[in-house]
Chain A
Amino acid sequence: MTDESPEPNLSLMARGTPQSLALGVDIGEGWGGLMRAPFRADLVGDPALGGLADGVIYTLLDQACGAAIGVAVKARAEMQGRELAMGAMATLDFRIDYVRPARAGADVTARAECLRIEGEVAFVRGAAFETDPDDPIAIVQAAFMISRPMAGA
């Protein structure tokens, strides 16, 4: 799910939640499975370290996982030849490992992929990093409920 064409709906998902707007989260040039939180001094967790707070990275990854599921649900609907009927999405559990603190003053990018959708459950994983995906700040594994689309699906 990392090689999709630009998705206006996902752009809305990224920019459209009040919280991600407040964080300044951006998906850049279309959806490549990536989402970015620009550095901001008021979003620092520990001033002694100077990097974006754990909570910002958590929220960024949660948002990126949701977007990755959105892409996967859309792809599944297309494959099955039915109309996309996206219900609400709810996080079941979210496990995040903070491998190391985010670097002072640095933007953070999250990458997420939907591993599998089984019935109403989507399994995702993701990672956050500054510039090098192989040098992660945090890694995530999560499961989401995708509520059953309305009648007719």
Chain B
Amino acid sequence: MSQAELSPASTWLAASPYARFLGLRIELEGGKVTGVLPFAPHLIGNVVLPALHGGVVGAFLELTALAQLAELAPGAQVRTVDVTVDYLRSSRAVDSYARAEVMRLGRRVANVRAVAWQGDERRPVATLRGHFLLGPAPGKP
């Protein structure tokens, strides 16, 4: 993370052991987060195809959504309420990318959509739709 700017999203990411376990990175451009999940053998769920584990793809989308929320609502305690992931095609053993769009940022809850792809952004591998609870930043009323 040495080259990443100290944005709220990268600060949030750096604090998560599980994100490190996956090898998740983020790239930031104008406040927009792109999640990057470099391929690693331990992410495989189907050795025959081979394909990434569906759980890894879902977690990657959720983490990208959380990183985008961290960027938009710095310091807020964000907790996932629910996510629905649609799997459009199998995720191959290559690097993956994801972007999240916050459809609504309320005071208490946010509605977010996210898309993951590999290689060709116009051919998404999975999409997410979810709700996230926003708590006040620690130390604020």
A interface residues, Cβ below 8 angstroms from B: 16-22, 41-47, 52-56, 58-63, 88, 90-98, 101
| Interchain CB contact under 8 A, B59 and A53 | yes
Residue picked from A20, A52, A56, A96, most chain B C-beta under 10 Å: A96
Number of B residues with CB within 8 Å of any CB on chain A: 36
| Interchain CB contact under 8 A, B55 and A63 | yes
| Residue in contact with B53 in the complex, picked from A47, A59, A90, CB distance below 8 Å | A59
- How far, in whole Å, are A53 and B16 apart by their CA atoms in the complex? 9
Which of B25-33, B40-48, B98-106, B108-116 lies at the binding interface?
Answer: B40-48
| Interchain CB contact under 8 A, B59 and A59 | yes
| Interchain CB contact under 8 A, A93 and B46 | no
Shortest CB–CB separation between residue A146 and chain B, in angstroms? 13
| Interchain CB contact under 8 A, B21 and A94 | no
B86 proximity list for chain A (CB < 8 A): 92-93
A-B pairs with beta carbons under 8 A, tally: 118
| Residue in contact with B80 in the complex, picked from A22, A54, A60, A62, CB distance below 8 Å | A54
- How far, in whole Å, are A18 and B15 apart by their CA atoms in the complex? 25
- CB of B119 closer than 8 Å to a CB of A: no
| Interchain CB contact under 8 A, A44 and B53 | no
- How far, in whole Å, are A42 and B45 apart by their CA atoms in the complex? 20
| Interchain CB contact under 8 A, B17 and A42 | yes
B11 proximity list for chain A (CB < 8 A): none
- How far, in whole Å, are A67 and B80 apart by their CA atoms in the complex? 26
4 nearest CB pairs, A to B: A59-B55, A55-B59, A53-B18, A19-B53
- How far, in whole Å, are A55 and B83 apart by their CA atoms in the complex? 11
- CB of B1 closer than 8 Å to a CB of A: no
Shortest CB–CB separation between residue A109 and chain B, in angstroms? 16
